[in-house]
Structure 1
Amino acid sequence: MTQIKAILIDDEQSARNVLTNLLERTSFNIEIIETCSNLEQGVVEIKKRQPNVVFLDVQMPNYAGYEITHFFNEINFEIIFVTAYDQYAIKAFELNAIDYLVKPIDRNKLNIALEKLEEKLKQKNQLIDYQSLLKTIKDKNYKKIVIPELGNRHIVDLKNIVSIEASGAYSVIHLKENEKITTSKNLKYFEGILSTEPSFFRSHRGWIINLNFVKSLNKTDLVVTLANTTLKTKISRNRINNFEEAIK
Structure 2
Amino acid sequence: MKAIIVDDEQRARNVLSNLIKRCDLHIDILAKCSCLEDAVKEIKELQPDVVFLDVQMPNYAGYEIANFFDEMNFDIIFVTAFDEYAIKAFELSAIDYLVKPIDRRRLIEAVEKLQNKIEKQKKIEDYQVLLNTIKEKEFKQIILPELGNRRIIAINTIIAIEADGSYSKIYTTENKPLTTSKNLKYFENLLPEDISFFRSHRTWMINLKYIEVINKSSLTITLAQNITAKISRTRFSSFENTIR
- TM-score, structure 2 length as denominator? 0.49
- TM-score, structure 1 length as denominator? 0.49
